[in-house]
């Protein structure tokens, strides 16, 4: 990327329970630059530190060592400025709020006036194709619909970055593939930078412009692989030889990274 990085991670280490006998090195020597508009997946086996890295970027936890900048600021300042939106594996909707009021939440917390909140929430619900469910309550929606509401919520305050931690992990395969397509369509629309955590190789390849492969114990970046399949990617993309080749390449790197640290 010739452009200046929107996210930059320098020599980050993260140790949980440091100074105790239960110390866990979750991240070691992490260096990563992400340019504006990229769709980057963090891919790796369970426990390799993907969530921890994402939470460091989002200032939900702080690194033990190293420097992180988000939008040219500290993660704390970026969070305070609501530069990013976040989606988790569980939708985490608020039962007592209507779908529309759930989407309004970031704007409400930011103190936006009521009619502006409303208009923006409805626009976001149209974006995720749930316009007619604005007045419903979360319990009336399926898991996939709830996750689309969570995406609408994360985008409602117009963040320049979207952090997603296995957002489709709780869905069945059919819904999952459909939402992957939806997500790409939304990304093309809003043009945010996306950092997407997953442990699915095909999901990472289908979605991302770049796949960052991580290895476990300690969590490290093993490789960064550009995915040069052209956008827009559609259902048929999954059946192209180029797609298969990329999946194979990523799988090999992932397994190589795993076997490298296996003897230890």
Ligand X SMILES: Nc1ncnc2c1ncn2[C@@H]1O[C@H](COP(=O)(O)OP(=O)(O)O)[C@@H](O)[C@H]1O
The contact set with another protein (CB under 8 A) reads 58, 60, 79-80, 82, 84, 86, 88, 90, 92, 94-97, 105-106, 108-110, 135, 137-140
Least Cβ distance, residue 126 to ligand X (angstroms):
32
Question: Please, are residues 155 and 190 in contact by the beta-carbon 8 Å criterion?
Answer: yes
Report which secondary-structure segment, H or E, holds 164: strand 161-165
Query: Which of another protein, Mg ion, ligand X, none interacts with 73 (beta carbon under 5 to 8 A by kind)?
Result: none
Question: Looking at 28-36, 44-52, 129-137, 222-230, which segment touches ligand X (CB under 6 A)?
Answer: 44-52
Cα-based angle 198, 48, 28 (whole degrees, multiple of 5): 125
Residue in 5, 6, 7, 26 binding ligand X, rule: CB under 6 A: 26
Cα dihedral angle (54, 59, 61, 66), rounded to 10 degrees? 80
Specify the residue, 26 or 86, whose C-beta has the smaller distance to another protein. 86
Q: Shortest Cβ distance from residue 150 to another protein (Å)?
A: 9
Min dist CB 168 to another protein, Å, is 16
Could you say which of another protein, Mg ion, ligand X, none residue 26 binds, taking C-beta under 5 to 8 angstroms by partner kind? Answer: ligand X
Q: Which of residues 187-226 bind ligand X (CB under 6 A)?
A: 219
Question: What are 168's two structure tokens?
Answer: 């489709």
Q: Select the binding partner of residue 49 from another protein, ligand X, Mg ion, none (C-beta < 5 to 8 A, by kind).
A: ligand X
How far apart, in whole angstroms, are the C-alpha atoms of residue 40 and residue 256?
A: 21
What are 52's two structure tokens? 């921890």
Stretch that binds ligand X, among 32-40, 48-56, 181-189, 236-244 (CB under 6 A): 48-56
- Cα atoms in the Cβ-side hemisphere of radius 13 Å centred on 261: 16
Which lies closer to ligand X via its Cβ, residue 85 or residue 219? 219
DSSP symbols for 62-125: --SEEEEEETTB-HHHHHHTT-EEEE-SS----TTS-HHHHHHHHHHHTT--HHHHHHHHHHHH
State in angstroms the smallest separation of the CB of 260 from Mg ion: 22
**Chosen from Mg ion, another protein, ligand X, none, partner binding at 229 (C-beta under 5 to 8 Å by type):** none
Which residues are registered as beta bridge partners of 224?
Answer: 212
CA 257 to chain centre: 22
Chain contacts with Mg ion (rule: CB under 5 A): 51
Q: Is 48 in the site for ligand X (CB under 6 A)?
A: yes
| Bridge partners, residue 164, by sequence | 87, 196
Q: Is residue 49 a contact point for ligand X (CB under 6 A)?
A: yes
Binding site for ligand X (CB under 6 A): 16-17, 24, 26, 44, 46-52, 219
């Amino acid at each position: 990327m010739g452009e200046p990085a929107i996210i930059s991670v320098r020599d980050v280490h993260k140790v949980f329970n440091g100074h105790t006998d239960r110390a866990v090195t979750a991240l070691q020597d992490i260096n990563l630059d992400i340019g504006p508009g990229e769709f980057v997946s963090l891919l790796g086996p369970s426990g390799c530190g993907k969530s921890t890295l994402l939470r460091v970027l989002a200032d939900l936890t702080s690194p033990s060592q190293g420097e992180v900048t988000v939008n040219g600021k500290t993660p704390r300042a970026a969070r305070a400025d609501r530069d990013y939106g976040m989606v988790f594996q569980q939708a985490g909707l608020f039962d007592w709020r209507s779908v529309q009021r759930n989407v309004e939440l970031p704007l409400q917390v930011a103190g936006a006036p009521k009619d502006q909140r409303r208009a923006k929430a409805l626009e976001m619900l149209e974006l995720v194709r749930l316009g007619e469910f604005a007045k419903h309550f979360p319990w009336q929606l399926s898991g996939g619909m709830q996750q689309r509401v969570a995406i609408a919520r994360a985008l409602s305050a117009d963040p320049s970055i979207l952090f997603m931690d296995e957002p489709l992990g709780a869905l069945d395969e059919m819904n999952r593939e459909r939402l992957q397509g939806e997500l790409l369509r939304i990304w093309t629309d809003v043009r945010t930078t996306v950092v997407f955590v997953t442990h699915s190789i095909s999901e990472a390849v289908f979605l991302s412009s770049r796949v960052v492969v991580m290895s476990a114990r300690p969590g490290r970046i093993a490789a960064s692989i550009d995915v040069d399949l052209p956008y827009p990617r559609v259902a048929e993309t999954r059946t192209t030889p180029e797609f298969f080749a990329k999946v194979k390449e990523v799988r090999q790197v992932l397994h190589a990274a795993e076997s490298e640290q296996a003897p230890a």
